[in-house]
Structure 1
Amino acid sequence: MHDNRQTKECKECGRELSLDYFIKIYGRNYSNICKECHSKKVQETKFNNKVDSGEITEDDFVVIYRKFKKISSTRILKKGESGIDHIARDEKFVKLMDYKDSWISNHGRLIVKNDTGTYQLIKGNRIRSTGELTYTLQKNICFKTKKEWGYKKDTVLACDLVIQTFIVNYDIKNNTMCWHKDNNVKDNYYKNLYPVTEKQYQVIKEKYEKTDYISEDEIMEIVNAAEYKHDNWKPWYYARTYMGVGYTGGNVDVKSDVWIRWINMIQRCYSKTVHKLKPYYKGKKVCEEWQNFQNFKAWYDEHFVAWEKVDLDKDLLIQGNNVYSPETCAFITHFLNTIFEDRGVKQLITQNKDKKYNVAMLILNKKQDVGVFDTKEEAVEALADYKKQYIVSVAESCKGKVQDCVYQAMLNWKVDIAA
């Protein structure tokens, strides 16, 4: 400890820290280990006690499997529309959610639609030192100081786009490397890419260089081995202790907004108590990636809008969607969230004494008269047109204030009026 006694060395991690980082004992003295190390020790003790008691078993731990994402047909660019030939029967170009008019294929090729509406196959550039392919795109980002959404140039590896779009990545934060099958960096076919940590990458590479071959089973064995995990890995981070599904993946701040939203999402989908109170959440799921809190946090940090009260919405981007995922979710205001739900907008068609049909809409309990029509068919059609026009007007008022994918989803929203 320094003479002025304002700092102290943690006996666990060896860091010299301010006294604020230590627990005060009996009002005068300070503990010998910092609060962070103390918290980790408490977590470890609790975890070991749960294992010893059988509360946590081997089945509760995350095992990483080779999995590919299910792609919504609404995101696939048809060959007839783009006019660009495919290089393989299984090639599909999938819309990138955070980039302007861009589609990545499962073979690593990229199509961009320019301002004239023409689709172009982008050549990209290779990094001299590694030979890896990169693309420069317009990324839709939140300019938080301006409180608006806009575009910024972003150079990204082709393999990263393919992994993000097609492969289930269990640990986005720590999987900073990509192993290409046979160490061929020119091969960006999705089935030949493996998101791994730096340590795992080196082990895989060394094993490959010895025999010029490494199987997928061997790669996954390395990925799951505790000895090759990232430096901050702890077994209790990867126990599915939340509703038997969710796991922290690392340290958490239990008072943070992101943690509260993640817990609420898990409970909506998997809590029987919630389902009794709100049965419309039955059958909803959290995607494999977001079952890891750290993956959800990475997405949250990039997309959260701090200057407005927002909801985590899973229904707007893809109608009829039942899965919370980075491909299907967006932060939108509570107002926007409700007008796309039956609970927020009610359609009223009533027959009057003249046997004509009065048409109105209740938008957040505010009545909007549409008109009077001779037949029910005319009434239904008028109501659908009115609701569509209303949604388009709301979309235009939100342009630049929401993600572009949210704006486009509102414009493309299909209005369904029950006859």
Structure 2
Amino acid sequence: METIKDVVKDYTVGKGKYKSTKDQKAYDCWNSMIRRCKLSNTYNYKNWNTYKDIEICDEWMNFQTFAEFYYDNIYSVPTGERVEIDKDILQHDGRKIKIYSPKTCLFVPHSINSALTNNRKLRGEYPIGVSFYCGKYWGECVSVGHEKAKKSFNNPNSAFKFYKRMKEKYIRELAEYYKNWIPEKLYNALMSYEIREDD
């Protein structure tokens, strides 16, 4: 059985100004990324299947390079919530294999990141945002203020269209709320974000 050392042997803190102790937040972000992608299956990480095809670019195998990206791009928001690294928003194009890299990643407030989580494992056979009970297909979406937009339909396609419309509206509302604090490329990505049936 592979050990942690076997799986991550090519990843190194490297020589440079960034240290795992002095730059602990950057290091924890880097280390967590590696563990999700490289160790989740080995250690029964609850979402291991989500990360089984995810790659990390060669340059981020060295912490020095990752830390430079981290400090160039990290920011805080007045809400006080944590800001997380995300590799999906800029790659939201249906590709199965995605990668953590300087070109594909940005930092995102937790509220936005949570809003874009698809919970594929939980929804079963229906399109995203659709469930079936009481003889009806239901489109359901949490909106700003954590209120639920919910409506029943006779077929899953109509329920999905309702969910898609409400979810995209919610994402744009979040973009506007965070507009003055988040990077422009994140704002633009959210404003053009489209929900796909296979998300």
User: Fold conserved (TM > 0.5)?
Assistant: yes
Question: Cα distance, 1:305 vs. partner?
Answer: 1.2
Change (3 A) 1:283 1:377: closer
Of the three residues 35, 38, 42, the one matched with 1:273 is 42
Give the structure with the higher percent strand.
1
What's the Cα RMSD here? 3.0
SS at the partner of 1:267?
helix
Identity %: 24
Provide structure 1 residue ranges, at least 5 long, that are not aligned to the other structure. Answer: 1-239
Larger Rg: 1
**RCO higher in 1 or 2 (8 Å CA, sep ≥ 6)?**
2
Provide structure 2 residue ranges, at least 5 long, that are not aligned to the other structure. Answer: none
Question: Cα distance, 1:261 vs. partner?
Answer: 1.2
Aligned equivalent of 2:72: 302
Query: How many Å separate the matches in 2 of 1:389 and 1:362?
Result: 11
With normalisation by structure 1, the TM-score equals 0.38
Question: Cα distance, 1:262 vs. partner?
Answer: 1.1
Of the three residues 118, 129, 136, the one matched with 1:347 is 129
Aligned equivalent of 1:258: 26
Contact kept, 8 Å, 1:314 with 1:323, in 2: the verdict is: yes
Moved more, 314-323 or 343-352: 343-352
SS at the partner of 1:389?
helix
Aligned equivalent of 1:317: 90
Give the structure with the higher percent helix.
2
Question: Cα distance, 1:342 vs. partner?
Answer: 1.4
Aligned equivalent of 1:334: 110
Q: Is residue 140 of structure 2 the alignment partner of residue 370 of structure 1?
A: no
SS at the partner of 1:409?
helix
Aligned positions of 1:60-209 closer than 5 A = none
SS at the partner of 2:129?
strand
With normalisation by structure 2, the TM-score equals 0.74
Question: Cα distance, 1:414 vs. partner?
Answer: 2.1
Query: How many Å separate the matches in 1 of 2:62 and 2:13?
Result: 6
Aligned equivalent of 1:406: 186
Contact kept, 8 Å, 1:370 with 1:386, in 2: the verdict is: no
Aligned equivalent of 1:147: none
Aligned pairs, number: 176
Query: How many Å separate the matches in 1 of 2:6 and 2:76?
Result: 29
